[in-house]
Amino acid sequence: MRRVLGWVLIAVALVLPVGLCALLFGLRRFSRLVRRDVRALLAQAARTREGVVVTEEMLQNLPEPVRRCLGYTGTVGKPFVNTVRLKQKGRMHPSAKGAWIPLEAEEYYSVQPPGFVWDATMYRGPLPIARGRDIYAGGKGRMLIKAGSLFIVVDDKGEEMDQGSMIRYLSEMIWFPTAFLGDNVSFEPINDESARVTLTDVNKSLSATMYFDEEGRFTDFVAKRYRTVLGGYELETWSTPTYEYGEHAGLKLPLRGGAVWKLPKGDLKYVDITITDLEYNIAR
């Protein structure tokens, strides 16, 4: 038994360094992939209205709750945003029965044309157990998740992913609200607390309902989005409520929020994130 135990310890001592090297190699390779996508995203970003400042007159044709929101955030008097970098910290879980998984993420955006690259690392304790990259560019979306940065767990693309990624982008524009004044965005009034927003990109248009409180704080975003299920996709109601406000880049913005599937069996909240850093008009 002692001899067997000795061989086991020797095997573990040999395998652990190999596994660690493989993990580090996978992390570097995944990081190179993300850097390539980020460079491409920022390179094609137009410097639309660079240096132009938002004025009250630019808000005149917007529904009242949207004007109220842009006023509350402090957008008036601020320059238009063309590119964005933000950092997130939070948790997510893949299913109703799954455990919450801590994550840290960095995300880059282009306003014109619309696009993003989301790079997330998921942890179990101090160990990075998975890397995820979600991307929307040129009207196309793609989600890639690798366990240990080595083995592909998810690699989704296609029309449903295109729709889902475009809706995600539209929901996250609240973090760079000057984008709502773009020529590719339109609004329809609903009532004093909500408005319908439509984003057009690559000859496709998608709409959602945005909700606001009396002060002008954005409270929720609700739309139809394709959800990945066993064997395919289902079009379900998707919501991104705001839980907490804070200040970044001189604006009052949603600081903490979630993502929720509004399913017939009940709500499934699967994301809870906090914005820890935000920067506008970053260098290419």
Query: Going residue by residue through the chain (284 aa), what tens digit of pLDDT does each one get?
Result: 333 323 323 333 333 454 555 555 567 788 999 999 999 999 999 998 989 999 999 999 999 999 999 999 999 999 999 999 999 999 998 666 778 999 999 999 999 999 999 999 999 888 888 899 999 999 999 999 988 767 888 899 999 999 999 999 999 999 999 999 999 999 999 999 999 999 999 999 999 999 999 999 999 999 999 998 887 899 999 999 999 999 999 999 999 999 999 999 999 999 999 999 999 999 87
Sorted by sequence, the CB contacts under 8 Å of residue 13 that are 6+ apart come out as none
Largest Cα–Cα distance of the chain, in whole Å? 83
Q: Let me know if residue 265 belongs to a domain.
A: yes
Structural domain includes residue 4: no
Query: Which structure tokens are listed for 165?
Result: 């990624």
Domain enclosing residue 139, as ranges: 18-280
What are 204's two structure tokens?
A: 């496709």
Task: Please report whether residue 5 resides in a domain.
Answer: no
Say if strands 127-137 and 232-239 run parallel, antiparallel, or are unpaired. unpaired
Asked if residue 9 is part of any domain, the answer here is no
How many Cβ atoms sit within 10 Å of the Cβ of residue 84? 23
Q: Residue 102: is the preceding peptide bond cis (ω within 30°)? A: no
SS3 44: coil
Per-residue burial over 138-176, b if 16 or more Cβ lie within 10 Å, else e, is: ebbbbbbbbebbbeeeeebeeebbbbbbbbbbbbbbbbb
Long-range pairs, 19-25, Cβ under 8 A, ≥24: 22/148, 22/150, 23/128, 23/148, 23/149, 23/150
pLDDT at 88: 98
Minimal CA–CA distance to 175: which of 60, 113, 84, 91?
A: 84
Among residues 134, 148, 130, the alpha carbon closest in space to that of 259 is found at 134
Please list, in sequence order, all residues whose beta carbon lies within 8 angstroms of the beta carbon of residue 162, skipping any fewer than 6 positions away: 139, 140, 141, 204
Could you tell me if residue 119 is inside a domain?
Answer: yes
Three-state SS at 146:
strand
Residue 130: which of 150, 116, 107, 113 has the closest Cα? 150
In a domain, 10, yes or no: no
271 CB-near residues (< 8 Å, 6+ apart): 90, 91, 92, 258, 259
Is 13 within a domain?
A: no
Q: How far, in whole angstroms, is CA 71 from its chain's centroid?
A: 24
Count of domains for the chain: 1
Contact 130, 144 (CB under 8 A): no
Q: How far apart are CA 245 and CA 257, in angstroms?
A: 9
Q: What is the pLDDT of residue 38?
A: 97
Q: Can you give the pTM of this predicted structure?
A: 0.90
> According to the model, what pLDDT value does residue 169 have?
98
Is residue 1, in this structure, part of any structural domain at all? Answer: no
Q: Which CATH number do you get for residue 148?
A: 2.50.20
> DSSP code of 20?
H
